[in-house]
Homo-oligomer: A and B are copies of this chain.
Amino acid sequence: MYSQAMYELGSRRSVIREIFEYGRARAAAIGADKVFDFSLGNPSVPPPDSIDDTIRELLATAEATLLHGYSSAPGDSGVRAAMAQHLNARFDTAYRADNLYITTGAAAALCICFTALTVPGDEYIAFAPYFPEYQVFVEAAGGKLMVVVPRAGDFQIEPERLAAAVTPHTKAVIINSPNNPSGVVYSEATVSALAAVLKEKSRQYGHPIYLIADEPYRELVYDDVAVPWLPAYYDDTLVCYSYSKSLSLPGERIGYVLIPDAVTDSRGLYAAAAGAARALGYVCAPSLFQQVVARNLGLTADIAAYKRNRDLLTAGLRELGYSYIKPDGAFYLFMRSPEPDANAFCARARGHELLLVPGDDFGCPGYVRIAYCVTEKQITAAMPAFAALAAEYGLQA
C-alpha cells in the first residue's frame, strides 16, 4: 500500500537518535547533570549576536511582502552575489552569483547533487568513516555507495585504495573534511594525491569523475590546521556547504551548492541541479535567513569554545590511557574502543552514564564517536566516569 523501502527508512530509528532518546529518559530519571550525553552533533554555542540583530534590522527596514516572499528558485541573486564575493576574497577565485545554488541546508545540497548527476548504474565512493545519510541520499537518487577504508593511524585517504575502487561506473567521489565522525582534516598531500587519481581515472574512462566536497565543518578547525580549497586542486569539484555549524543555525536550513565554471559543462550541470531541486520539492531556501546569512558572511559562532572542549577532552582521555584519532576539526573525537566490539564498549560506557556512538554506523567498527559540542562542565563532570570505564578495561596512560 506504500513504499516498503520508505517505511523501513522511517521506522528504523538511527542509532544516534536512539541513544539520544535514551539519554533524555535517563536524564529525567536520575537528573540531567548525572547523564553524560556525547551522542548528538548539535551546536552547543549560540549564533553570533549579530544574527538576531540582523533579523531585527530586516524586520524594521525591509518590506514584509518581499522579506517573507518567495525568492527565485536558486536563491536571491543579491545574496548569491554576496556569497560569491565572500568566497572570491577568501580563495582568490572569480565565482559569480550564478555559480551558486542556495539550498535548504547541506542535506538538500547533497540530495540535489546526487539527483542531478545520477543515471542508472552510477556508483559513488565515500571514505570511511562517513556520514551515514550519504547512503540514504545516494540510494534515493538511484545510485550505489561504495566505501573505501582509510589509512590506519591518521585516517587520511590512501590513493591506491581509491584507484582500486574507481570503476567505469563511478560518477563521483564524496569527501567530508573536516570529517564527521573522525574530526580529521584531509591534508594538502592527501588532496593532491586524490586529485591526481581522479584526473588519471577520468582520462582513462573518458568522462569526468566529479568530486563532491561536503564542507559543513569548514570553519571548525583548530590550531594552525588549513583546510585545502578543493576546486583549486581539481576542476570537476562541486562544493556543498551549510551555515548550520559555522553560524550555529542548524534549524534554519541555509546552505549552497557551488558549481564553478571550471567544472565540465558547468552550465548544463547547473541546470540539472535546478531540475533536481524542483523535482525534490525545494521551491526556494527560507527567504528571511537567506538575507540574514548574506549580512553575516565571514562571521562564526564562538568556535574557540569547541577548541577548549577538544583540548580538555583529549588531555583527560590521554591521561586515562585511551587512544584516538587526532581531531583537527569539527566537534567530534573518534576514540578507539578498548575492545574490538564498539557496541559492547558503548553498552559498558552506558553503565557509567556515558552516551557514546559506536563507529559501526559510520563504516568504522572498533571506534566510538564522542560529540564534544557540549558544555565544558559536562566534559569535566564526565571524567570520573571515563576513568572508571578505563579501569574496567585495565587501561594505562
Q: Chain A residues in contact with chain B, CB under 8 A?
A: 1-11, 42-47, 51-52, 55-56, 59, 63-65, 67-71, 104-105, 107-108, 110-112, 115-119, 133, 136-137, 139-140, 207-208, 248-253, 264-265, 268-289
Instruction: For A51, give its contact among B68, B70, B108, B280 (CB under 8 Å).
Output: B68
B1 and A265 contact, CB distance less than 8 A: yes
Q: Which residues of B contact A248 (CB under 8 A)?
A: 64-65, 68-69
| CB of A282, distance to nearest CB on chain B (Å) | 7
B251 and A8 contact, CB distance less than 8 A: no
What are 12 contact pairs spanning A and B, CB under 8 A?
A1-B207, A3-B118, A3-B276, A7-B268, A7-B275, A8-B275, A42-B70, A47-B68, A68-B250, A71-B251, A105-B283, A133-B278
Oligomer: number of copies: 2
CA distance A270 to B64 in the complex (A): 35
CA distance A281 to B240 in the complex (A): 13
CA distance A247 to B112 in the complex (A): 29
Q: Which residues of B contact A11 (CB under 8 A)?
A: 268, 271, 274-275
The closest CB in chain B to the CB of A69 belongs to B251
Instruction: For A46, give its contact among B64, B284, B285 (CB under 8 Å).
Output: B64
Instruction: For A286, give its contact among B55, B59, B269, B289 (CB under 8 Å).
Output: B289
The closest CB in chain B to the CB of A41 belongs to B70
CA distance A46 to B262 in the complex (A): 42
The closest CB in chain B to the CB of A14 belongs to B278
Instruction: For A281, give its contact among B52, B67, B110, B272 (CB under 8 Å).
Output: B110
Q: Which residues of B contact A281 (CB under 8 A)?
A: 104-105, 107-108, 110-112, 137, 280
CA distance A250 to B270 in the complex (A): 24
Given A2-B116, A3-B119, A269-B2: A70 in contact with B275 (beta carbons within 8 A): no
Other A-B pairs, 16, CB within 8 Å; known A133-B278, A136-B278: A3-B116, A3-B119, A6-B116, A6-B275, A6-B276, A9-B275, A9-B279, A10-B272, A10-B273, A11-B271, A52-B59, A67-B251, A68-B249, A69-B251, A140-B280, A288-B289
| CB of A374, distance to nearest CB on chain B (Å) | 12
Q: Which residues of B contact A51 (CB under 8 A)?
A: 64, 68
Given A59-B55, A70-B42, A117-B3: A137 in contact with B284 (beta carbons within 8 A): no
| CB of A30, distance to nearest CB on chain B (Å) | 23
| CB of A252, distance to nearest CB on chain B (Å) | 5
B280 and A111 contact, CB distance less than 8 A: yes
| CB of A139, distance to nearest CB on chain B (Å) | 8
CA distance A4 to B276 in the complex (A): 11
Q: Which residues of B contact A56 (CB under 8 A)?
A: 56, 59
The closest CB in chain B to the CB of A120 belongs to B3
B6 and A272 contact, CB distance less than 8 A: yes
B286 and A286 contact, CB distance less than 8 A: yes
Q: Which residues of B contact A289 (CB under 8 A)?
A: 286, 288
Q: Which residues of B contact A116 (CB under 8 A)?
A: 2-3, 6-7, 10
Instruction: For A6, give its contact among B104, B253, B279 (CB under 8 Å).
Output: B279
CA distance A47 to B5 in the complex (A): 40
A253 and B284 contact, CB distance less than 8 A: yes
Given A10-B271, A59-B52, A207-B1: A47 in contact with B70 (beta carbons within 8 A): no
